[in-house]
Amino acid sequence: MQDTPQTLSITRPDDWHLHLRDGDALASTVPWSAAQFARAIVMPNLKPPVVDTAQALAYRERVLAARPAGADFQPLMTLYLTDRTPPQEIARARASGAVFAVKLYPAGATTNSDSGVTDLRRVHGVLEAMQREGMPLLVHGEVTDPEVDVFDREAVFIERHLQALRREFPALKIVLEHITTSDAVDFVLAHDARDARGAPLLAATITAHHLLHSRNAMFRGGLRPHYYCLPVLKRDSHRVRLMQAAGSGDPRFFLGTDSAPHARGAKEADCGCAGCFSALHAVELYAQAFEQAGCLPRLEAFASHFGADFYGLPRNAGRLQLRRQDWTVPDSIEYLDTCIVPVDAGATLHWRVASATRA
Ligand code: DOR
Ligand code: ZN
């Protein structure tokens, strides 16, 4: 055990896929992410969704106002793509300097996706503008066809839609978000095209819970709603492939927590919401997954380098220090006038964030 490192120091990481919600919820959510991450790509699936640049700028101000005193956390905003998004919105978004991507939710695929895209043909003009402007498309990659088995929806989306999208817009920057299958890993690995800066044109984010858990976690001794998210956890062989991809040092795979706060009562219900909350302990969860897989030395690039490189942003100057320390994930944290049960509540984690420095 002598060689076991007791501390870990990495470049300050960023979260390339995060849900913060809005209004009073921001006071509960923003501080958790600001404690670990320097920047985050903030999802636009509010009620109503963030569909234009003016709304994104206003939402950005509300997120900034919820930062704890002295925090330097930077929200990187996104637009929610709808059938009616005008192609001219992309140039406005780019010119704002505050919008970094556009999110594609197939209508009905997940939480607050009702205003999403009903048919990709309806947004071809917008995708052309995004390809021209170098604006990344972030894809929730699941078909909504109720006939398709819920565990197959990602693989079927790749086959039915993503292959064609990649062919029709060869220079569009695409992130396949929160991937859950070996099919998604294979799809990313099959595309090695780069943009003018040498950054990948196709990449994927991976959550900590999809690296740590298979679908068994949802059914261990009963029905466990706090492990229910979309895309849903898959069988363990998929998890193993995701971990191999995340730990491989390939710059096309990087960190995105998909931390998605839902009040306890909204998940422990007869029709519980999809989403796992991991902002509280995100880096610790990833460290646990990488260490279990024997690739802890590759955590830094996955968490702190590859995402920034993909988006053409500088890597952070600050550092995040972790120390080896067993601690128990709290059973709940405060949220509005209720609480959230974090993913892996009650479990013992072996790494703990000790401090973050700016530069
Ligand atoms: O589990 C999920 N929760 N998946 C999503 O795509 C959305 C998210 C949310 O907003 O709660
Ligand atoms: Zn999400």
Alpha carbon distance 265, 246 (integer Å): 33
Query: Residue 258 is encoded by which pair of tokens?
Result: 């998909």
**To which residue do tokens 């607050």 refer?**
112
Count of positions (residues) in the chain: 359
Phi first, then psi: what are they for 269, rounded to 5°? -140, 170
Which pLDDT does position 282 carry in this prediction?
Answer: 98
Alpha carbon distance 222, 18 (integer Å): 28
3.40.50.300, 3.20.20.140, 2.40.50.140, 2.40.420.20: CATH of 13-314: 3.20.20.140
Ligand 1 atom nearest the C-alpha of 112 is 10
Mean pLDDT along residues 66-95: 98
Alpha carbon of 111 to ligand 1 centroid (Å): 5
Give DSSP secondary structure letters for 194-245: B-TTS-BSEEEEE-HHHHH--GGGGGTTS--GGG--SSPP--HHHHHHHHHH
**2, pLDDT greater than 70:** no
The string of pLDDT tens digits covering residues 195-228 is 999 999 999 999 999 999 999 999 999 999 999 9
Alpha carbon of 275 to ligand 2 centroid (Å): 8
Give percent above pLDDT 70 in the chain: 99
User: What does the domain layout of the chain look like in residue ranges?
Assistant: 13-314
Alpha carbon distance 63, 78 (integer Å): 13
**249, pLDDT greater than 80:** yes
Which pLDDT does position 4 carry in this prediction?
Answer: 84
Which pLDDT does position 358 carry in this prediction?
Answer: 84
**24, pLDDT greater than 60:** yes
Which pLDDT does position 111 carry in this prediction?
Answer: 84
Give percent above pLDDT 90 in the chain: 97
Ligand 1 atom nearest the C-alpha of 262 is 11
Catalytic residues: 258
Alpha carbon of 310 to ligand 2 centroid (Å): 18
Q: 153, 218, 227, 230: which to mutate for ligand 1, most atoms within 8 A of CB?
A: 230
* Three-state secondary structure call for residue 285: helix
Which pLDDT does position 174 carry in this prediction?
Answer: 98
- On whether the CB atoms of residues 117 and 111 are closer than 8 A, the answer is no
Torsion of CA 61, 67, 71, 77, to 10 degrees: -40
**Any idea which ligand is nearest the CA of 45?**
1
Q: 45, 138, 227: which to mutate for ligand 1, most atoms within 8 A of CB?
A: 45
Alpha carbon of 274 to ligand 1 centroid (Å): 6
